[in-house]
Amino acid sequence: MKDLTLQFMGASLANVGSTIIAVAVGVFLLEFALWLVFDRLLHHRLALPIMLLTPAVLGLAALVVYPLLFELQLAFSNMSLRRFKNPDYGLAIGWDNLKLMFTEPVLKQAKFFPLLLRTFLWTFIQISFHVSLGLFLAMLLNRKIRLKGLFRTLLVFPWAVPQVIAILAWRGEFNYEYGYVNILLRWLGMANPPQWLTEPTWNFIAINLVNIWLGIPFMMVTLLGGLQSIDSTYYEAAEIDGASPWQRFRAVTLPLLRPIMTPAIVLGIIWTFNNFNVPFLLNQNLLETSDILVTALFRAAFEYNRYGFAASFAIVVFLILLALTIVYMRISEFTPVTAAKVSVAAGEGKRPAKAAVAAAKGGA
């Protein structure tokens, strides 16, 4: 504790505090100027929304738009370690970067399409397990049981622990000699348990196992919310009609869960496709057979220093993910713009907001 003196704490608070005040003052002045111009001067219909949106727009311009333009520019360059300070730019170079991506190995041996396939496989495996196991646990938790709160809290653990720490703990458990996984397998009678960190197939399986473990809680919590919003009268009606539990699941639970499940899956696809930590950190031995697109991208940029090529690669990866998401949304008849409406329409059950609204009305 010797370094954490009151003085230091005060200084750091002052440092953070002054930044916050600076941001607040800046936002206020900006808002004031916007208000003067749009409301007072122009009497603009949208003066208020403009004022509401501007801080976010400015922030995102600096943090998302500028870097994107930068990457776009870089994608048309041949910048690398050997051409670090004076790279060339041009359309032809951009075209070369693209061509190289599909014709030559992206790293040393890994080619683009095997990587893409593996990424799809990875995303598919993960989403399947997250949704099925998450839904299974959510349905168990939705039953009338004791200690529900305790179970839920414990099951959310993998989500609540800082990810990097959890992953490194798992890496230890996959150690051939000392890891718990192999100790367990030996105890079960397996003489030569897998070499999780060195054999390509086993390493990929290990990565999948860890990410399944990490990803279940989010799906479980989301789907539990969905289950709780399904009105019990649906089940009662189905029961009166003599539906079996499986039929009830198919005819009531799944369709009514869809408005919750679809966006959760879309989110899951994005997070899984772009998951960097798990495949990167569990692949201690740099096996290219465990790389997915984003980790390959990182290696191309930071380990091989092919800045121009990597920028081009990044844009392609981004576009593939965008396309994948759009295709999924088309299939599931879900678009980001109408999403909110879908949810309202589906919100026949007691939605929390509605309940709160009802309470507010009752109080008024």
Partner 1 sequence: MRFWKFCLGKDYKEEDSMKKLITLAVCAIMIVGGITAQTKLTLWTQEGTAENAFQYVQDLAAAYSKVNPKVIIEVLNKETEALRQDYQTASLAGDAPDFLWTVSDHAGPFTAAALIQPVDKLVDLSKFGDASAASLDGKTWGVPITLGNHLMLLYNKDLIKAPPKDTAELIKMAADLNAKGTVALTWNQTEPFWFVPWLGAFKGGKVFAADGKTPNLNTPAMVSALQLLQDLKFKSKAYPAESDYNTADTMFKEGKAAMIINGDWSLGDYQKVMGDKLGIANIPQVKGAGWPAPYTAGKFFMITAGIDKAKLATIVDFIKFATTKENQLDMFSKLHRLPALKTAAADKLVASDPVQKASAAQMAVGVGMPSVLEMRAVWDAMKPEFIKVMSNSETPKDAAAAMQAAALAGIKALK
Partner 2 sequence: MRNVGTGRGIFRRTRYGTPAGLFATYLVLVIACVFAVYPILRIASVSLRPGDRLLSTDMSLFPPDATLDNYRAVMQDTKFPVWLWNSLAITLSTALIGVMIASTSAYAFSRWNFKGKKAGLIFLFAAQMIPAAMLMIPIYILAARLGLINTWRGLVIAYSVGSIPFSIWILKGYYDTIPIELEEAAMIDGASRMTAFTKIILPLSTPSLAIAFLFNFTQVWNDYLLGRIMLQRSDMFIWTQGIRTFADNFRTQWGQYSAASLIVSVPVMILFLASSKYLISGLTVGSVKG
- Between residue 79 and residue 98, which ones bind partner 1 under the rule CB under 8 A? 80-82, 84-85, 89
Interface residues for partner 1 in 95-134 (CB under 8 A)? 104-105, 107-109
Residues 264-283 that bind partner 2 (CB under 8 A): 264, 266-267, 270, 273-274, 276
CA distance 61 to 275: 24
Give dist(CA 176, CA 202) in Å, integer.
11
| Residue placing its CB nearer to partner 2 in the complex, 222 or 283 | 222
Partner interacting with residue 163 (select from partner 1, partner 2, none; CB below 5-8 Å by kind) = partner 2
Report what 113 binds from partner 1, partner 2, none; CB cut-off 5-8 Å by kind.
Answer: none
- Give the one residue of 54, 142, 195, 332 binding partner 1; rule: CB under 8 A: 195
Task: Please state, in angstroms and as integers, the Cα–Cα distance from residue 119 to each residue in 10, 281, 302, 305, 330, following that order.
Answer: 47, 16, 20, 23, 21
Q: Cβ distance 94 to 75 under 8 Å?
A: yes
Instruction: Return the residues of window 152-171 that contact partner 2 according to CB under 8 A.
Output: 152-166, 169-170
Residues contacting partner 1: total by CB under 8 A: 35
112-141 and 254-273 are packed helices; what angle lies between their axes, rounded to 10 degrees? 140
- CB under 5 to 8 A by kind: which of partner 1, partner 2, none does 81 bind? partner 1
* Spatial distance between the Cα atoms of 290 and 297, rounded to a whole number of angstroms: 13
Nearer to partner 2, 48 or 190 (CB): 48
The reply on whether position 363 binds partner 2 by CB under 8 A is: no
For residue 221, how far is the Cα from the chain centroid?
15
Q: How far is the CB of 208 from partner 1 (least distance, A)?
A: 20
- CA pseudo-torsion sign 304, 310, 314, 317: negative
- Residue ranges in 292-311 that form contacts with partner 2 under rule CB under 8 A: 294, 297-298, 301-302, 307, 310-311
Residue 316 and residue 349: Cα distance in Å, rounded? Answer: 42
Question: Tokens standing for 214?
Answer: 């990490």
Query: 39 burial class (0-12, 13-18, 19+ CB within 10 angstroms)?
Result: middle
Interacting residue with partner 2 among 82, 86, 109, 149 (CB under 8 A): 149
163 makes contact with partner 1 (CB under 8 A)? no
User: Interacting stretch for partner 1, rule CB under 8 A, among 12-20, 39-47, 67-75, 336-344?
Assistant: 67-75
Residue numbers 102-141 binding partner 2 by CB under 8 A: 137, 140-141
Which of partner 2, partner 1, none does residue 114 bind to, with CB < 5 to 8 Å depending on kind? none
H-run or E-run covering 111: none
- In a 13 Å sphere around the CA of 174, the CA atoms on its Cβ side amount to 25
Is residue 290 classed exposed, middle or buried when 0-12, 13-18 and 19+ CB atoms within 10 A define those classes?
buried
CB of 349 to partner 2, least distance (A): 9
Choose one: 52-60, 91-99, 101-109, 120-128; the region binding partner 2 (CB under 8 A).
Answer: 52-60
Give 88 or 231: the residue with its C-beta nearer to partner 1: 88
Q: Residue 305 to residues 166, 250, 255, 284: CA-CA distances in angstroms?
A: 29, 51, 48, 20
Q: Is 11 strand, coil or helix?
A: helix
Binding site for partner 1 (CB under 8 A): 69-70, 72-73, 80-82, 84-85, 89, 104-105, 107-109, 175-178, 192, 195, 197-199, 284-288, 300, 302-306
